[in-house]
Amino acid sequence: MAKFKSGIESDRGNDEMRGVEVEIDFTPNALASILYRQGETVVMACVTKADRLPGWFPRDASKGWVHAEYSLLPASTDSRFRRERNGAKGRTQEIERLVARSLRGAIDLEELGPIALTVDCDILNADGGTRCASITAANIALRLAVRRLIISGTCLPADLRPNRDQLEAGWEAPKLSPTEIEAHEKAVMPHDLAAISVGLVDGDVYLDLDYILDSNADVDMNVVGISDGSFVEIQATGEEATYSRKQFNELMDSAEGGLVDLFEIQKAILADLE
């Protein structure tokens, strides 16, 4: 059991990730929704489809768009978090932009076709790592939403999409075979996306920082990765401290191990879902 500067102790090992639990279709109205728990951090991720592409898209655009929003609910923290009624503030804007660009790094917008999706990540309980948990939860919800759009005939390969004349003539979407559905899903989302935090606490590397670890960390890092081994973003910050290249490599090694575990969890969760 590790004891830190604050006198608070952690019962997790350095490379031990918090337990992950996922409840599918937590709310009925969204195209896809999940309740994602990573330790005591709880995220509700919901995907909705807009009626049209954003106004700044060309009229006959062939590609789609994925947007994300992030919010801490008032009772998600130990003291009430005030609602941002006049628009997202600095930290919230930074996190939702991170979530959105991470998702767009994992999806092929041309293969998605002219569809606009929004992924809302609402934090029901915050115990560290909310941005990382939001990214992982958002990817699970997005993949499930894309799968459902393909099954319904809304998201199709480019050569099967209708033109304007076909739509006006009462075009009906073709039914794809299970093999075609799987192939198109892989084209739209070739790889999975996940994010994990790591940090240096009293000189030691710790995986998946909860609030206790984060508040005691001299260096904290958020790593957003794709299941092909590439990265979308790495945020590494010293808290009145510095870190060496050797320590950076150790942090990255720990993060990569955590990402592999998250990809395996996602794969198991989504294996048979429609």
Q: What is the DSSP string of the chain?
A: -EE-TTS-EE-S-TTPPPPEEEEE-SSSSSSEEEEEEETTEEEEEEEEE-SS--TTS-TT----EEEEEEEE-GGGSSSPPPP-TTS--HHHHHHHHHHHHHHHHHS-HHHH-S-EEEEEEEEEE-SS-HHHHHHHHHHHHHHHHHHHHHHHTSS--GGG---HHHHHTT--PPPPPHHHHHHHHHHH--S-EEEEEEEEETTEEEES--HHHHHH-SEEEEEEEETTS-EEEEEEEESS----HHHHHHHHHHHHHHHHHHHHHHHHHHTT--
* pTM beyond cutoff 0.85: yes
Q: What average pLDDT score do residues 62-80 get? A: 87
| pLDDT tens-digit map of 126-142 | 999 999 999 999 999 99
Q: Is residue 10 part of a domain?
A: yes
Q: Per residue in 211-270, pLDDT tens? A: 999 989 999 999 999 999 999 999 999 988 999 999 999 999 999 999 999 999 999 999
213 domain-assigned: no
**Assigned domain for 35 exists:** yes
24-48 tens-digit pLDDT: 999 989 999 999 999 999 999 999 9
**Domain assignment of residue 113, given as a range:** 2-190
Read off the pLDDT of residues 149-199 as tens digits, 9 standing for 90 and up. Answer: 999 999 999 999 988 888 888 888 889 999 999 999 999 999 999 999 999
What is the total count of domains within the chain? 1
In-domain check, residue 228: no
Query: CATH code at 89?
Result: 3.30.230.70
> Looking at residue 59, what is its pLDDT?
84
Is residue 259 one of the residues assigned to a domain? Answer: no
Residue 234 in domain = no
In a domain, 42, yes or no: yes
